[in-house]
Structure 1
Amino acid sequence: MGGHRLDLGDSLPKVSVITAVHRGGHHFLRQAYASLRDQVLPSGWEWEWCLQEDGDSGVLDALPPDDRVLPGSGLPGRAAVARTMALARATGSVVRTLDADDVLLPGALARDIEALGRVAWCTSACVDLLPDGSTRPGPYDPPAGPVAPGRFYAEQAGDRLSVQANTFAAHTDLVRALGGWPALTGAETVGLLLAAEAVAPGEFIAEPSVLYRKHDAQTTAADRYWDEAEAAARMESVLARAETLRRAGWRWRSA
């Protein structure tokens, strides 16, 4: 596989933060923006925020004026479609996912950038932010450092994935080579994580990168999201894609 030194050419190194937004789930965007604005990046690095509304109701019009904020909207297709549409505007050499209702913790992007100098993708710990303002750590965090090949696939197959896949960051070329987020009605972040794991090495960062907000308006809080047949079909698709990539033997190499 070789190393994964970021080949940036003549452009400034940049991390593109990808966020999908739906009407009703947009009320915490200013807090998300503040947490992004306050990130301290390695020398010479900058960030951009690529947001895509799932629909075109205008919920992104209230975003603070900032040339680094790149909003878009379009036909509704759920979060996977919105994320991949936002990816079309990304100009950074690496991408990082951020849910519209979450908060980046200090140093999150700098730690991602450091890890992506060694590997193709990374994920990190997170802390649940409960409605009463209290927090609690994730219960199943894996060991820090390189992720054993197939670890997350095996965990998901056993319905016990040890990470929140919405902390995923990767080389942009890898995400594009995998087609972005799979066009599913949910679990698209897990789908991309497992696909990346199947074709390239990654790392887990033990220091939490995000406050993962729990609230009634989030998509996964709806009973309909957990329809048994649909949820099973999503997971079958996610696992089959990763297994097919693994059997094919294709390995991603940085440009």
Structure 2
Amino acid sequence: MGLISVVTPVVSGGHRYLREAYDSLVQQELPSGWEWEWCVQEDGDSGVPGRELPEDPRVLSGMGLAGRAGVARTMGLSRASGEVVRCLDADDVLLPGALARDIERLQRVAWCVSAGLDLHPDGSTSAGPYDPADGALADGRFFEEQARGQLSVLAANFAGHTGLVRALGGWPALTGQETIGLLLAAEAVATGEFIAQPSMLYRQHPAQTTAAENYWDEHDIRVEAVLGRARDIRAQGWRWV
């Protein structure tokens, strides 16, 4: 049986949409012989988000010292048993077929990233304006885009082989943009694919992390950190096989 591990960081006070995220997981139709598990990690030790989770043996929750989302993601990864892993933020919703499409692509490539739809407070949705074409991605494309400040994809839609994610150290311990950090590191060692069919509703709301004014104070430092990591990994000549 195949297993895909979905990893979600959550902070106390930011757990109001967890039930919707869970419902979107339950509604996923997976290829024959596949199951999912949900690794939910609180960024902190209040225990509040864990009490909001349903009684389901597929839901594996944990909590610990606060270190922001990158640390929480990697802590959640420590409980993942699946051969592939997928991101899902606590306030987002998977669209039908999302996990099945990830699984299908990961049969032939080490990682993939898919399109998403912005979900606005009025319930309307909008697509990203710069999505790549479906299929294989040119080597270094996302590194070059991020260096220009024009990344064309939502890195929170990343999925990859668990061994690859662990070999890369999981998500970097940054104050933000850790999903971009993993995406660029994976791109540095393996060819990936883009899935043009949207896989997730990316909820836009005033309480989201990127809406906080001070989130952007360290933007340039974080960008240099993720670019520098990818640049140095690439310089080693290591390739995932």
Q: What TM-score results when the alignment is normalised by the length of structure 2?
A: 0.99
Q: Secondary structure in 2 aligned to 1:95?
A: strand
Q: 2:155 aligns with which of 126, 151, 165?
A: 165
Please, which runs of 5 or more residues in structure 1 have no aligned partner?
A: 1-11
Amino acid at match of 1:250: W
Structure 1 runs (4+) greater than 3 angstroms displaced: none
Match of 1:241 in 2: 229
Note the C-alpha offset of 1:252: 1.1
- Quote the Cα distance in structure 2 between the aligned partners of 1:62 and 1:186: 25
Match of 2:33 in 1: 44
Note the C-alpha offset of 1:132: 1.0
Note the C-alpha offset of 1:23: 1.5
Q: 1:80 aligns with which of 70, 74, 80?
A: 70
Q: Secondary structure in 1 aligned to 2:20?
A: helix
Q: What are the residue-to-residue correspondences of 1:145-224 with 2, within 5 Å?
A: 145-224=135-214
Q: Secondary structure in 2 aligned to 1:139?
A: coil
Match of 1:225 in 2: 215
Note the C-alpha offset of 1:62: 1.7
Match of 2:10 in 1: 21
Query: CA contact under 8 A between 2:18 and 2:52: conserved in structure 1?
Result: no
Q: Secondary structure in 2 aligned to 1:148?
A: coil
Asked if 1:115 corresponds to 2:98, the answer is: no
Amino acid at match of 1:237: A
Amino acid at match of 2:220: A
Match of 2:86 in 1: 96
- Quote the Cα distance in structure 1 between the aligned partners of 2:4 and 2:178: 21
Match of 1:63 in 2: 53
- Quote the Cα distance in structure 1 between the aligned partners of 2:145 and 2:12: 32
Q: Secondary structure in 2 aligned to 1:162?
A: coil
- Quote the Cα distance in structure 1 between the aligned partners of 2:151 and 2:229: 17
Note the C-alpha offset of 1:57: 1.2
Please, which runs of 5 or more residues in structure 2 have no aligned partner?
A: none
Query: CA contact under 8 A between 1:127 and 1:135: conserved in structure 2?
Result: yes
Number of equivalenced pairs:
240
Q: Secondary structure in 2 aligned to 1:126?
A: strand
- Quote the Cα distance in structure 2 between the aligned partners of 1:22 and 1:63: 13
- Quote the Cα distance in structure 2 between the aligned partners of 1:88 and 1:82: 10
- Quote the Cα distance in structure 1 between the aligned partners of 2:88 and 2:204: 14
RMSD: 0.6
